[in-house]
C-alpha cells in the first residue's frame, strides 16, 4: 500500500525544473522556499508581504483608479551551494536524480548528480535535506543538510554557502501575454550587518516600498566556506541554518547544534498535531488519497499564522498573481482552517480587521458615504487592481469576508473574537451595502438592488443584480443583525435604532431574481438573454478565453469562467429545492469553461449533493490533482491555493455532505462508488469529532468535549461525552 504522506518525483506528470520547484516548495505562511536546484543560481525565496511598489501607468486615467502596483519579490534561493573542484572549475548540475517529500515530518530530500564539465558523467552526488520551521517560535527558520558523496572524484573540493547574492540570481521566465504572471523588475539593495567564518547576516531593502528583510546564514559546526579532501566512496555532511526576519536588526537566535535539534523536534510535533486534527483519509483510491494529503499539506504551508498577512493566490510557493490576496482566502481556504485549525483561521480574519482603515477610505473613493470596501487584490490593504471591471467591481468580497466571519464564529463560538474583530467587520461591510445599493421597483415590488457590479464569474462584468452578490449581501446584513444584540456591549459600535431598522428593511428587501419562464435562477439581469458562446467550435488552443479574446468580446456572451450563481447553492444548503438546484446545475454547467482553477471544486460539491456520482468524482479528480498533473499548465508560477482548499470542500461539503444549519452540524453520505471509505476530523465548538463513511454506514464519533447534537442523514443524534 502506498504511503499517502510521501510524494516523489515520479509522481509528477510534469517533471520540468520549474514545476518541480513549485510542487516541492516548503513554507510556513511567513516565507517559502522553492525546491530549486542548489547548484543553479536562481530566484526561489518568497517572503509573505515583501513587495515592491510602482505607479500604475494608464493610457487614460480617471478618479479613484488604483494608483500603485504591488508585486511580491522573488529573492535568491536559500538552497544555493557553490562547489569547485581543485582546478577551480564550478560544479555543473546534472539535474535531480530523485526528490521525495515526507509530509508527515515536513522533510524534503533531493539528490542531484554533479559533474565539473557538461559532457562528463557524475563525479559526485549532492543530497539536500531541508525543512522549514512551522512552530510559532520557528517561523524564521530554514534548515539545510547537505551530503556530498564522491563517485569518482579524487582531490580537494571547495564548498561555499553563499548569502543572498542578488546580482547572481537568474530571473524566472515570464510570459508577457499572461496577466496572471508579471515581472515588473525590482531594485533591491543589500547590506552586510555582520560576517564571520561561520555566520553572515544581511539586509535586503526594496527601493520604493522601503521594506527590509534580514537574512542570517549560519554553519552548524562548520564554516560558510570549507575545503575538504575526497576520494571515491567518501562522503561528508554539512548543516546550515538560515533565518529570515521581517523585523530587521533584531537579534536572531544563536545557531547551535542544540537549537537545530530543538527545531527538528518542534517541527515534527507540529506536523503530527496538524495531521491529527486535519487529515482526510480516502480508502480505495491511493492516487487521490495522496493528492489530497498533498493539497492539505501545502494549504497549511501557505497560511500566515501571525495575523500580519493573509494567504496569497499562490501562497508562498511562487510569485504568480504578484503575491496578492483575493477573496479566495475566505471562501475556498478558510473553511478548512475554521474546521480543523481555528487558531490559524482566527489570525487570517484578524488580518482583514486590521485592513479596515484602508477599506473605509476606499469606500469613500468609490462614492460610498459610509462603511468599508476591502480591496479586490492587494498586499498592503490598498487596491492594486488596474482593471476595475474584473477587479474593484467585485464588491462581493465584502460579503465573502463577512460570510467567513460568520462561519468561524458559528463553528468555534469564539466570543472574544466576535466582540473585538468580527462584529466591527460585519458592521462596516453591512453599512457599505446599505449605502452602495438603491431602492427600486421590480415586478411591481419595491426592492433593494445593486447596480454595475461584477460577480465571481469574471467573464461577465458590470451588471445589475448579480445573484451571488445580492444573496451574499443579504447574508452579510443578516449576520450583523443576528449578532449585534449579543455583542453590542463589548463592541461599542456607533449603531442607532434607526440604523438597525434600515438594515432590517434592506435585508428583507434585497432583490433575488428568478426566471419563471425558464424556471432558472438568473446569474444577473441580462445574462440569460445574451447569445451563448460557441464553446463546441472554439479551438482548444483558445482556452483560457481571457488570453485570446478581448474582454468586451467575452462580456457579450453567456459564458462562465467559473460558477457564479451556483456557488450560492453550496454556501446556503437547503435554500432551494433539489429540483431547482438540478435545473440550475444543468444549465450553468453547459456554459462554464473552467478557465479558473476555482471552478471544478464547486461543481464537485454540487454534483455530489445532487447524486451525480460520476460527474462529482471526475470534477474532484481534476481538482485534487490539478497541480500534480499541471492541469492548468501554469503550476510553475505557484500552486493554486484556492483549488487546494476547494478539494477539501469537495470532500467535506460534497461527498460527506457536511454543513452547519441553525447551529447544528449536518452530515449526509454521498461517498463515491469508486471509494470504499472516507475518514476525517472536525472541530466544532471546542469538540473534536471524527466522521467515518462507508457505502452503507455513516459514523460520527465525539473524541473529546461535551455532548453535542448533530444531524446524520436528516436524523438528529446526540453524541455523548466520553467517559473520563
Q: For residue range 293-308, what is the model confidence (pLDDT) as tens digits?
A: 999 999 999 999 999 9
Q: ∠ at Cα 212 (207, 218), nearest 5°?
A: 130
Q: What is the pLDDT averaged over residues 251-275? A: 92
Which phi and psi (to 5°) does residue 28 adopt? -140, 20
Q: What is the pLDDT averaged over residues 365-392? A: 96
> If pLDDT is split at 50, 70 and 90, which confidence band does 255 have?
confident
Per-residue confidence (pLDDT) for residue 573, from 0 to 100:
93
| Res 48 pLDDT > 70 | yes
> If pLDDT is split at 50, 70 and 90, which confidence band does 168 have?
very low
> If pLDDT is split at 50, 70 and 90, which confidence band does 117 have?
confident
Residue 596 C-alpha from the chain's centroid: 14
Q: Is 365 marked active-site?
A: no
| Res 723 pLDDT > 80 | no
| Res 249 pLDDT > 80 | no
* Architecture, CATH, for domain 349-588: Alpha/alpha barrel (1.50)
| Res 658 pLDDT > 70 | yes
Count Cα atoms within 13 angstroms, Cβ side, for 546.
15
| Res 443 pLDDT > 90 | no
Give just the sign of the alpha carbon dihedral 328, 317, 640, 534.
Answer: positive
The rounded distance, in Å, linking the Cα atoms of 481 and 431 is: 12
Per-residue confidence (pLDDT) for residue 170, from 0 to 100:
41
Per-residue confidence (pLDDT) for residue 286, from 0 to 100:
95
Nearest to 599 by CA among 622, 576, 615: 622
| Res 584 pLDDT > 90 | yes
Answer yes or no: are the C-beta atoms of 362 and 354 closer than 8 Å: no
Q: What is the pLDDT averaged over residues 610-633? A: 95
> If pLDDT is split at 50, 70 and 90, which confidence band does 501 have?
very high
Per-residue confidence (pLDDT) for residue 175, from 0 to 100:
57
For β-strands 31-33 and 43-55, DSSP reports them as antiparallel
The rounded distance, in Å, linking the Cα atoms of 521 and 528 is: 9
The rounded distance, in Å, linking the Cα atoms of 189 and 212 is: 9
Which tens digit of pLDDT belongs to each residue from 427-439? 999 999 999 999 9
Catalytic residue among 458, 701, 709, 720: 458
| Res 248 pLDDT > 70 | no
User: In the chain, pLDDT over 90 holds for what percent of residues?
Assistant: 91
| Res 179 pLDDT > 60 | no
> If pLDDT is split at 50, 70 and 90, which confidence band does 163 have?
confident
* Architecture, CATH, for domain 6-277: Distorted Sandwich (2.70)
The rounded distance, in Å, linking the Cα atoms of 270 and 136 is: 10
Could you write out the DSSP letters of every residue in 192-261? EEEE-SSEEEEEEEESSS--EEEEEEEESSS-SEEEEEE-TT-EEEEEEEEEEESSTTPPPPP--HHHHH
| Res 627 pLDDT > 90 | yes
User: Lowest-confidence range among 111-120, 166-175, 402-411, 461-470?
Assistant: 166-175
Per-residue confidence (pLDDT) for residue 447, from 0 to 100:
98
| Res 697 pLDDT > 90 | yes
The rounded distance, in Å, linking the Cα atoms of 560 and 533 is: 9
**Left (φ > 0), alpha (ψ -120 to 50) or beta: where does 29 sit?**
left
Nearest to 628 by CA among 160, 389, 293: 293
> If pLDDT is split at 50, 70 and 90, which confidence band does 185 have?
low
Longest Cα separation, the chain = 91
For β-strands 708-712 and 664-667, DSSP reports them as parallel
> If pLDDT is split at 50, 70 and 90, which confidence band does 493 have?
very high
The rounded distance, in Å, linking the Cα atoms of 244 and 140 is: 5
Asked if 6-277 and 281-340+594-724 have one fold, the answer is no
Which tens digit of pLDDT belongs to each residue from 304-354? 999 999 999 999 999 999 999 999 999 999 999 999 999 999 999 999 999
Which tens digit of pLDDT belongs to each residue from 5-27? 999 999 999 999 999 999 999 99
Contacts of 437 (CB under 8 A, 6+ apart): 448, 449, 450, 451, 473, 506, 510
Per-residue confidence (pLDDT) for residue 30, from 0 to 100:
95
Which superfamily, per CATH, for 281-340+594-724?
A: Maltose phosphorylase, domain 3 (2.60.420.10)
Which tens digit of pLDDT belongs to each residue from 382-393? 999 999 999 999
Kindly report the average pLDDT of the chain as a whole number: 94
| Res 246 pLDDT > 80 | no
Where do the structural domains in the chain lie, given as residue ranges? 6-277, 281-340+594-724, 349-588
Per-residue confidence (pLDDT) for residue 171, from 0 to 100:
47
Q: What is the pLDDT averaged over residues 494-514? A: 97
Per-residue confidence (pLDDT) for residue 167, from 0 to 100:
54
Alpha-carbon separation of residue 512 from 73, 100, 561 (angstroms):
43, 51, 22
| Res 177 pLDDT > 80 | no
The rounded distance, in Å, linking the Cα atoms of 467 and 457 is: 11
> If pLDDT is split at 50, 70 and 90, which confidence band does 492 have?
confident
Give just the sign of the alpha carbon dihedral 47, 348, 412, 397.
Answer: negative
Q: What is the pLDDT averaged over residues 538-550? A: 96
The whole-model pTM stands at 0.95
Q: What is the pLDDT averaged over residues 451-478? A: 98
Amino acid at each position: 500500500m502506498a504511503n499517502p504522506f510521501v510524494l516523489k518525483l515520479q509522481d509528477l506528470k510534469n517533471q520540468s525544473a520549474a514545476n518541480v520547484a513549485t510542487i516541492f516548495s516548503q513554507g510556513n505562511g511567513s516565507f517559502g522556499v522553492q525546491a530549486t536546484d542548489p547548484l543553479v543560481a536562481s530566484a526561489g525565496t518568497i517572503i509573505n508581504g515583501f513587495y515592491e511598489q510602482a505607479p500604475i501607468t494608464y493610457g487614460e486615467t480617471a478618479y479613484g483608479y488604483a494608483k500603485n502596483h504591488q508585486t511580491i519579490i522573488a529573492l535568491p534561493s536559500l538552497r544555493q551551494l557553490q562547489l569547485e573542484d581543485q582546478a577551480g572549475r564550478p560544479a555543473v548540475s546534472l539535474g535531480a536524480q530523485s526528490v521525495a517529500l515526507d509530509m508527515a515530518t515536513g522533510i524534503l530530500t533531493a539528490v542531484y548528480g554533479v559533474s565539473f564539465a557538461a559532457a562528463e558523467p557524475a563525479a559526485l552526488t549532492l543530497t539536500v535535506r531541508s525543512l522549514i520551521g512551522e512552530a510559532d517560535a520557528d517561523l524564521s527558520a530554514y534548515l539545510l543538510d547537505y551530503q556530498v558523496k564522491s563517485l569518482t572524484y579524487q582531490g580537494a573540493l571547495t564548498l561555499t554557502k553563499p548569502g543572498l547574492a542578488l546580482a547572481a540570481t537568474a530571473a524566472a521566465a515570464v510570459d508577457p501575454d499572461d496577466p496572471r504572471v508579471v515581472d515588473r523588475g525590482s531594485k533591491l539593495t543589500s547590506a552586510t550587518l555582520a560576517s564571520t567564518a561561520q555566520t553572515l547576516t544581511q539586509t535586503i531593502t526594496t527601493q520604493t516600498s522601503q521594506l527590509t528583510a534580514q537574512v542570517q546564514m549560519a554553519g552548524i559546526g562548520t564554516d560558510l566556506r570549507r575545503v575538504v579532501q575526497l576520494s571515491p566512496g567518501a562522503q561528508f555532511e554539512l548543516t546550515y541554518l538560515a533565518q529570515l526576519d521581517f523585523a530587521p536588526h533584531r537579534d536572531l537566535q544563536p545557531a547551535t547544534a542544540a537549537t537545530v535539534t530543538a527545531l527538528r523536534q518542534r517541527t515534527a510535533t507540529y506536523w503530527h498535531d496538524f495531521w491529527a486534527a486535519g487529515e482526510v483519509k480516502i480508502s480505495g483510491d491511493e492516487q487521490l488519497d495522496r493528492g489530497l494529503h498533498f493539497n492539505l499539506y501545502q494549504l497549511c504551508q501557505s497560511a500566515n499564522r501571525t495575523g500580519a498577512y493573509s494567504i496569497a493566490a499562490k501562497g508562498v510557493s511562487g510569485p504568480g498573481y504578484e503575491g496578492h490576496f483575493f477573496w479566495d482566502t475566505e471562501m475556498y481556504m478558510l473553511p478548512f482552517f475554521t474546521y480543523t485549525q481555528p487558531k490559524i483561521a482566527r489570525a487570517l480574519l484578524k488580518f482583514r480587521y486590521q485592513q479596515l482603515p484602508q477599506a473605509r477610505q476606499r469606500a469613500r473613493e468609490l462614492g460610498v458615504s459610509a462603511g468599508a470596501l476591502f480591496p479586490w487584490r492587494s498586499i498592503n490593504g490598498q487596491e492594486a487592481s488596474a482593471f476595475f471591471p474584473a477587479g474593484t467591481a467585485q464588491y462581493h468580497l465584502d460579503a465573502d469576508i463577512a460570510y467567513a466571519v460568520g462561519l468561524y464564529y458559528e463553528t468555534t463560538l469564539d466570543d472574544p473574537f466576535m466582540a473585538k474583530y468580527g462584529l466591527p467587520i460585519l458592521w462596516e461591510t453591512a453599512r457599505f451595502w446599505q449605502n452602495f445599493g438603491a431602492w427600486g421597483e421590480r415586478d411591481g415590488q419595491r426592492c433593494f438592488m445593486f447596480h454595475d457590479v461584477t460577480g465571481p464569474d469574471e467573464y461577465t462584468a458590470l451588471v445589475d443584480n448579480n445573484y451571488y452578490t445580492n444573496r451574499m449581501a443579504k447574508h452579510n446584513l443578516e449576520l450583523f443583525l443576528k449578532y449585534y444584540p449579543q455583542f453590542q456591549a463589548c463592541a461599542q459600535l456607533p449603531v442607532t435604532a434607526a440604523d438597525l431598522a434600515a438594515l432590517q428593511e434592506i435585508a428583507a428587501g434585497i432583490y433575488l431574481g428568478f426566471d419563471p419562464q425558464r424556471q432558472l435562477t438568473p446569474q444577473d439581469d441580462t445574462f440569460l438573454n445574451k447569445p451563448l458562446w460557441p464553446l463546441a467550435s472554439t479551438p482548444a488552443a483558445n482556452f483560457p478565453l481571457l488570453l485570446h479574446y478581448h474582454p468586451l468580446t467575452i462580456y457579450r456572451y453567456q459564458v462562465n469562467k467559473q460558477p457564479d450563481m451556483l456557488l450560492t447553492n453550496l454556501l446556503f444548503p437547503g435554500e432551494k429545492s433539489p429540483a431547482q438546484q438540478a435545473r440550475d446545475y444543468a444549465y450553468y454547467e453547459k456554459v462554464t469553461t473552467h478557465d479558473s482553477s476555482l471552478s471544478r471544486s464547486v461543481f464537485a460539491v454540487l454534483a455530489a449533493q445532487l447524486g451525480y456520482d460520476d460527474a462529482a468524482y471526475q470534477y474532484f479528480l481534476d481538482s485534487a490533482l490539478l497541480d500534480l498533473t499541471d492541469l492548468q499548465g501554469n503550476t510553475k508560477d505557484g500552486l493554486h491555493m484556492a483549488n487546494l482548499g476547494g478539494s477539501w470542500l469537495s470532500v467535506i461539503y460534497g461527498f460527506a455532505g457536511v454543513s452547519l444549519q441553525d447551529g447544528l452540524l449536518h452530515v449526509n453520505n454521498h461517498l463515491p462508488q469508486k471509494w470504499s471509505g472516507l475518514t476525517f476530523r472536525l472541530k466544532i465548538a471546542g469538540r473534536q469529532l471524527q466522521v467515518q463513511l462507508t457505502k452503507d454506514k455513516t459514523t460520527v464519533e465525539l473524541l473529546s468535549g461535551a455532548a453535542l447534537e448533530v444531524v446524520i442523514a436528516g436524523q438528529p443524534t446526540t453524541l455523548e461525552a466520553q467517559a473520563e
